[in-house]
Amino acid sequence: MIDDLLDQMTLEEQVALLAGADFWTTVAVERLGIPKIKVTDGPNGARGGGSLVGGVKSACFPAAIGIGASWNPELVREMGVALAEEAKTKSARVLLAPTVNIHRSGLNGRNFECYSEDPMLTSALAVAYIEGVQSQGIAATIKHFIANDSEVERQTMSSDLDERTLREIYLPPFEAAVKQAGVWAIMSSYNRLNGVWTSENHWLLTELLREEWGYDGIVMSDWFGSHTTEASVIGGLDLEMPGPTRDRGDKLVAAVREGRVPAKTVKAAARRILLLLERVGAFADPSLDEERAVDRPEHRALIRKLGAVGMVLLKNDGILPLDKA
């Protein structure tokens, strides 16, 4: 089916798939019945595509740093299943999570969104989370690839590190997500890696991720994290987000026509977008319903349980053991 669609698509239609339509949705190609899909944040809830203030209500699960303290992959898998169900109430097919950046510094303002300073613990929980989400036909999006471990200057800085450090500490959660969980989507980070933007880093996105690890899913940019036309497409970035496009569209069509970007590279990226649509069932059911707030007692109970198992007693001032009376 996918190859048949690709053969019928014009260059312009293939290029259109490689950038978002708006802040939360991809582009549809109505002529060929290719639907658009919605994505939604995030790691501890599915908030939908409304305003940050006053949108449709969502269940709020414990933050990842608390989940990390649980050391409980089975419970995290249950959380993934529940979050997929929450995403469906927002008519989203892709959940922009989990976040698996390493706690390199205690000063990082988004450590709460990541599991741990331990790459092995992070890997185990990420795999469980992804398996839970994707078991329900919702795509997980592991992020931010790679070395996005500081909020200070995160959109301009370069994370400079040798390959051994990268492979031993920062890459394991992503590698496990690809090889063990079969994750369907990956989000690049804002920063540079050794001087090259991650969103156009050929070694990272193509040589390592696709050729060495065998990844067949999509790579999307973090929001407004794409910087170029030619370098990002050739580097391995499939989807520029959000839309409407800034770097692709007519610019990319011209780059292909002029021989600066191979047509086969665009076609391969479009194929991966179509594969994602197939994996999340968008061809079978292209509907995009109104967002709903569904209060599920079983999700409330799971949230309560996750909060309890993640609690850590740092100092016992007569609190434990609890008085049974």
Tell me which residue of 36, 59, 15 sits closest to 297, measured CA to CA. 59
Strands 192-193 and 196-197: antiparallel
Positions marked active-site: 222
- The residues that bridge with 297 in the sheet, in sequence order, are none
Tell me which residue of 89, 95, 196, 108 sits closest to 148, measured CA to CA. 108
- Report which DSSP code applies to 170: I
d(CA 268, CA 287): 26
Helical packing angle, 250-257 and 263-279, nearest 10°: 140
d(CA 205, CA 17): 19
Q: Residue with structure tokens 């991650």?
A: 198
Structure tokens at 264: 């086969």
Helical spans, DSSP H, in 135-198: 163-165, 172-179
Sign of the dihedral defined by the CA atoms of residues 60, 64, 69, 71, in that order: positive
Whether 97 and 111 have beta carbons less than 8 Å apart is answered as no
Provide the 3-class DSSP secondary structure of residue 59. coil
Whether 42 and 90 have beta carbons less than 8 Å apart is answered as no
